[in-house]
């Protein structure tokens, strides 16, 4: 509630530069209320007038950015559980209308609601987004929040999210600190665990689009014996049918054929052209590596996947 009434610039400091787009001016107060840790707005997801859901509206900056691509009355539904946040967002939209002649507050339908129980119909949304909210949930609530997103998405719909992650074991005392959780500092999971929670809910394809350093929890300022490194990720989880051999998780690996033939075909749908990196999911990367060929190179995860490739 406090963060709705008094913008807190340092609250969820994002390391991602804010989208600069032609004709888009973001009001200062919205920038100050940027409580996200990455971006969930990606033009690639926004073709064919998608119906968009955004959960945890904050100051409305990403709603404005989604509106830039959507521009249809009620094209976006913004849900938040805190009245003051919805009100702050509404006020920021008034200023956004003044600064952006193309923008109408009516592009976004703001409603009070809970990420754990969305008042939306099954299979009704093309793109569902959340930024720096789900990390505050403990296991059962996170599962519920992911299930809710899965439920409301249409088949092939996309959940785009940005959240902190942490590969170190978060000390129990920090994990249980509700204030630190609310500040998006101590609820983060290791990436693999987070991905597993998404695939367990049913998402058949996962794209890791970005991974960046985020914060440090140090012994001087937090109740920890060692320095804890927190990163942030941008993920797109697609409601594709689950493949029989398990989910396709893209972490930015590629396969490169460097043999003397015209191409290499694994007879499973992957044809590698000489010295042309083919983006592969981790499952395909593992299968190709297990062939132990001296003319196929598998590159490491870059955690920067931007489409294309196998599956
Ligand atoms: C850290 S802020 C992120 C705001 C925004 N996504 C951004 O990137 O600036 C978390 C937001 O989620 C909202 N929120 C907290 N719990 C929620 C819940 N259970 N359901 C829906 N929204 C919630 C908060 O009011 C706040 O607007």
Closest C-alpha residue for ligand 1 atom 17:
81
Ligand 1, residue 14: give the atom nearest the CA: 8
Residue 225 CB neighbour total at 10 angstroms = 7
**Phi and psi angles of residue 80, each rounded to the nearest 5 degrees, phi first:** -150, 150
| 81 Cβ inside 6 Å of ligand 1 | yes
| 12 Cβ inside 6 Å of ligand 1 | yes
Ligand 1, residue 114: give the atom nearest the CA: 20
| 183 Cβ inside 6 Å of ligand 1 | no
| 111 Cβ inside 6 Å of ligand 1 | no
| 159 Cβ inside 6 Å of ligand 1 | no
Tokens of 218: 């140090």
Residue 98 confidence (pLDDT): 98
Residue 242 CB neighbour total at 10 angstroms = 14
Residue 308 confidence (pLDDT): 83
> In a structure prediction context, what are the per-residue pLDDT tens digits for the chain, which is 311 residues long?
566 676 665 555 556 778 889 999 999 999 999 999 999 999 999 999 999 999 999 999 999 999 999 999 999 999 999 999 999 999 999 999 999 999 999 999 999 999 999 999 999 999 999 999 999 999 999 999 999 999 999 999 999 999 999 999 999 999 999 999 999 999 999 999 999 999 999 999 999 999 999 999 999 999 999 999 999 999 999 999 999 999 999 999 999 999 999 999 999 999 999 999 999 999 999 999 999 999 999 999 999 998 888 77
| 62 Cβ inside 6 Å of ligand 1 | yes
* Residue of 32, 80, 92, 133 to test ligand 1 pocket, by largest number of atoms within 8 Å of CB: 133
Residue 67 confidence (pLDDT): 98
Residue 14 confidence (pLDDT): 59
Give the number of C-alpha atoms closer than 13 A to the C-alpha of residue 104, restricted to the C-beta side: 10
| 31 Cβ inside 6 Å of ligand 1 | no
Say what the pTM is.
Answer: 0.95
Residue 20 confidence (pLDDT): 85
Give the number of C-alpha atoms closer than 13 A to the C-alpha of residue 72, restricted to the C-beta side: 11
Centre of ligand 1 from the C-alpha of residue 170, in Å: 22
């Amino acid at each position: 509630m406090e963060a709705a009434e008094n913008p807190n610039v340092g609250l969820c400091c994002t390391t991602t530069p804010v989208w600069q787009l032609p004709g888009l001016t973001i009001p200062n107060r919205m920038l100050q209320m940027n409580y996200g840790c990455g971006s969930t707005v990606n033009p690639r997801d926004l073709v064919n007038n998608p119906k968009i859901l955004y959960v945890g509206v904050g100051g409305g900056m990403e709603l404005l950015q989604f509106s830039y691509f959507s521009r249809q009355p009620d094209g976006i539904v913004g849900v938040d559980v805190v009245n003051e946040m919805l009100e702050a967002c509404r006020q920021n939209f008034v200023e956004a209308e003044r600064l952006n002649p193309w923008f109408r507050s009516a592009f976004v339908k703001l409603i009070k609601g809970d990420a754990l129980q969305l008042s939306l119909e099954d299979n009704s949304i093309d793109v569902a987004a959340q930024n720096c909210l789900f990390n505050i949930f403990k296991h059962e609530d996170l599962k519920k929040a992911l299930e809710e997103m899965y439920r409301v998405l249409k088949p092939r719909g996309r959940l785009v999210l940005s959240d902190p992650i942490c590969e170190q074991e978060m000390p129990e005392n920090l994990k249980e600190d509700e204030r630190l959780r609310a500040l998006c500092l101590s609820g983060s999971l290791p990436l693999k665990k987070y991905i597993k929670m998404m695939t367990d809910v049913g998402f058949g394809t996962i794209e890791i689009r970005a991974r960046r350093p985020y914060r440090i929890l140090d012994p001087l300022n937090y109740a920890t014996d060692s320095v804890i490194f927190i990163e942030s990720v941008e993920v797109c989880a697609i409601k594709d049918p689950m493949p029989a051999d398990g989910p396709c998780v893209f972490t930015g690996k590629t396969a490169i054929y460097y043999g003397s033939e015209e191409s290499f075909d694994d007879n499973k749908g992957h044809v590698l052209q000489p010295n042309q990196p083919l983006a592969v999911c981790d499952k395909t990367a593992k299968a190709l590596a297990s062939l132990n060929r001296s003319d196929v190179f598998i590159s490491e995860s870059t955690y920067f996947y931007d489409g294309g490739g196998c599956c």
